[in-house]
Amino acid sequence: MYELGITTSFSAAHHLVAYPGACAVLHGHNWKVEIFVQGEQLDELGMLVDFKVLKACLNELMEELDHTDLNTHPEFIDLNPTSEQIARFLYRRLSISVSDSLYKISRVMVHETPGSVATYWE
């Protein structure tokens, strides 16, 4: 089994509705995002997937989230945009655009702050 990963980041604001503390107030983070793909076979070039392909798909999603108020994003209108929810959103969106017969998204990690990470996989 092979697993590849890439890392990027985005900056955005959010607040947590009904949270009993300071996170209920609009504030921002510089989220670090790691995505991983997994597969058993390499292609004719000896690669699971070209890193360039992964980066292009992830960068498209980062542009959608970067410098926004996540609470106004359609995905988070009825959900608190927590790191857990962001990881699930990214996993599901990337599973549509990245998965192939040779590989699939295996997990997504979202770091809200250094030392605080949420991971999602199915």
Query: Catalytic annotation on 23?
Result: yes
Q: Which among 23, 73, 75, 84 is annotated as catalytic?
A: 23
Say whether 111 is catalytic. no
- Would residue 3 show up in a list of annotated catalytic residues for this protein? no
Report the residue count for the chain: 122
Name the active-site residue from 14, 57, 111, 112.
Answer: 112
Q: How many CB atoms lie within 10 A of CB 91?
A: 21
What would the two tokens of residue 59 be?
Answer: 């960068």
Structure tokens at 98: 């990245």
Catalytic entry in 3, 27, 67, 122: 67
How far apart CA 104 and CA 96 sit, in angstroms, is 9
Query: How far is it, in rounded angstroms, from Cα 108 to Cα 36?
Result: 6
Q: Is the dihedral of CA 22, 25, 28, 34 positive or negative?
A: positive
DSSP 122: -
- What residues are labeled active site? 23, 67, 112
